[in-house]
Copies of this chain bind each other. A is one copy, B any other.
Amino acid sequence: MNEDVKDLNLSVVKAFTLLDAFTMDKQEWGVRELALKKGYNKSTTYRLLNTLESLGVLQKNDNDKYLLGLKLFELGNLVAIHKTLRKYSRTPLENIAREIKETVHFGVLDKNQVLYLNKTESPQGLKVSTQIGSYQKAYCTAIGKVLLAFLPEQKITNYLKAVSLDACTANTITDGEALQKELQKIRAQEYALDMEELELGLICIAMPVYNNKRQVIASISVSGPSSRFKLENIENYISIIKKGAQAIEASMH
């Protein structure tokens, strides 16, 4: 909305603002409700949606409601950045999931958040389910803490300045200095734990993935309910995840 007054094309901004309303939780929108939600005029909204539909960016449901269209699927699959990472992470993630039988995630840091690039879901009924392409807070997830830990010091400082460490549960680290200490520990042990810091009952363990210059470029995490996730298994989990990380690293060299 209130951008840097950078001479942007307002129609295009509006169009993508409308698209942002389409989420996992609300996949369909009618003209009026979307106009109301975004505070745009009915006519404007109608014409923008109409335009987006004619481009294949949206498509109409049976109910005359709009849905995200296949043009976005097409464009999304062309996004070059991280594409290689996604491709090479697939098999290793599946191997980890097969051994540990919990949901495995693969992500990178983008705009101070964790961006999930890939996943393999646990075969069990009770499991974590995250949307590929979605973002999550970095400071209270195992995967995010790994990615933060191996950032250059200046960038960690910037992160702490930019982000407010809100509590998600009673376990969330909400103090900057405490987080710094935690990151230091993670660098030393080369893995991170999330002990119900994002969500009660949810425990994760994450490890870094390196490029050939030994920079951390991504992270793998395993997530499961606290009822199944016993601390005595951690050593075992670590060696399995490590193997997966190395497989990804090898395929990129």
Contact = CB atoms under 8 A, between A and B. Distances in A.
Interface of A: 3-4, 6-9, 11-13, 15-16, 19, 22-24, 27, 47-48, 50-52, 54-57, 59, 67-82, 110-111, 115, 131-135
Given A59-B81, A133-B77, A12 B72 contact: no
Given A67-B80, A79-B72, A110-B70, A12 B48 contact: yes
Contacts of A70: 79, 81-82, 110, 115, 133
Given A9-B51, A47-B7, A22 B78 contact: yes
Contacts of A52: 12
A69 B79 contact: yes
A13 B51 contact: yes
Given A12-B52, A13-B54, A13-B55, 16 more contacts: A6-B50, A9-B11, A11-B12, A68-B78, A68-B79, A68-B80, A70-B82, A72-B76, A72-B78, A73-B79, A74-B134, A75-B75, A75-B133, A76-B76, A77-B132, A77-B133
Contacts of A82: 70, 73
B11 A11 contact: yes
| Centre residue among A8, A48, A54, A77 by max chain B CB count within 10 A | A77
Nearest to A74: B133
B80 A3 contact: no
B115 A54 contact: no
Given A57-B16, A59-B81, A70-B115, A9 B48 contact: yes
Contacts of A13: 51, 54-55
